[in-house]
Amino acid sequence: MNKKIFSQLLAYSQNDLTKISQPYIMETFGVEVERCESLEQYAEKIDDACLHKYFSKYWQNDMKKWKYSGVALIDEVNSLKPRAVLDVGCGYNEFKGKIDNLIGIDPYNDRADLQVSTLDYKTDQKFDVIMCLGSVNFGNREKIIAEVGRCVALLEDGGTMFFRVNPGVQHDKPEADWIEFFAWNVPFIIELADMFNLAVLDIRDDTNQRKYFVLRKKLAKLEK
Ligand SMILES: C[S@@+](CC[C@H](N)C(=O)[O-])C[C@H]1O[C@@H](n2cnc3c(N)ncnc32)[C@H](O)[C@@H]1O
């Protein structure tokens, strides 16, 4: 759950749900949501609406600015000769047609091949490569762990995951004010690798304080 939004709702309403009106939500968070049965549910819906608004209307990308996690990935990924690549939170789907056999998913950007979130994406397909570039970044630790776990489940044994993550830097635009940016750090990357039996192939500082890292799913027979 987005703690910033929940704390604001709690402080304002003092846990009295009748105080949470549509005008209050619009005035405070700049979004509309349907009526909810609890403050937690309001926080979830408002969080989703804020992410939707920001990433469908305001956020702009410049793939060229990233030292490691932008256009440099085209040759890097294609050199692995992948049979299937998943771009999680693909934004404007800029790798489409440049990286072989790629599917881009994103719940908020209509250029995605499928408009769906990481946790709601259901498929029997497995991927040799999964890219999570700036997209497993929103919400609390449990949400991040669940999203990484979902990606690991979609990855072939021996498959590779490329990440760009944010150490918790807020985006400049006011429309991003209510978004909760998870504060990634190197110990957490290593903890995740241990948790999901992944080898850490690389960790580097990318542009704008972002971290770039590469994980590989260990082969089942090597697991013990
Ligand atoms: C900072 S942008 C990065 C976009 C693209 N990967 C890139 O590198 O340009 C973050 C993207 O993650 C998407 N996103 C947010 N929450 C998501 C979720 N739960 N599942 C998948 N994508 C999500 C947003 O819609 C947005 O397009």
Q: HEC profile for 38-75? A: CHHHHHHHHHHHHHHHHHHHHCCCCHHHCCCCCCHHHH
Among 51, 106, 166, 184, say which to mutate for ligand 1: greatest number of ligand atoms within 8 Å of CB.
106
Q: Is the dihedral of CA 165, 169, 172, 178 positive or negative?
A: positive
User: What is the C-alpha separation between 5 and 136, in angstroms, rounded?
Assistant: 19
Ligand 1 touching residue 138 (CB < 6 A): yes
CA of 121: how far to CAs of 75, 118, 148, 224, in Å? 27, 5, 13, 30
The β-bridge relationship of strands 127-133 and 155-165 is parallel
The tokens describing 20, both together, are 């949470």
SS3 83: coil
Q: Are 140 and 3 within 8 A, CB to CB?
A: yes
Q: How far is the CA of 211 from the centre of ligand 1 (A)?
A: 16
Nearest CA to ligand 1 atom 23: 89
Print pLDDT tens along the chain (224 aa).
899 999 999 999 999 999 999 999 999 999 999 999 999 999 999 999 999 999 999 999 889 999 999 999 999 999 999 999 999 999 999 999 999 999 999 999 999 999 999 999 999 999 999 999 999 999 999 999 999 999 999 999 999 999 999 999 999 999 999 999 999 999 999 999 999 999 999 999 999 999 999 999 998 765 55
Tens digit of each residue's pLDDT (9 = 90 or more) over 56-111: 999 998 899 999 999 999 999 999 999 999 999 999 999 999 999 999 999 999 99
CA 16–ligand 1 middle distance (angstroms):
34
> For residue 78, how far is its CA from the centre of ligand 1 (angstroms)?
22
- Residue 74 Cα to chain centre, angstroms: 20
Bridge partners of 194, per DSSP, are none
Q: Among 80, 133, 65, which Cα is nearest to 104's?
A: 133
Q: Looking at ligand 1, which atom is closest to the CA of residue 55?
A: 25
Length of the chain: 224
Cβ atoms of 127 and 159 within 8 Å: the answer is: yes
Q: Which one, of 106, 101, 93, 102, lies nearest residue 63 by Cα? A: 93
For the full predicted model, state whether its pTM sits above 0.85.
yes
Both tokens of residue 167?
A: 């150490």
Which of 55, 94, 145, 166 should be mutated for ligand 1, with most atoms under 8 A from CB?
Answer: 55
User: Is ligand 1 within 6 A of the CB of residue 104?
Assistant: no
Atom of ligand 1 nearest to the CA of 117: 20
**In contact, 213 and 200? CB cutoff 8 Å:** yes
Phi, psi (degrees; rounded to nearest 5) at 8: -65, -45
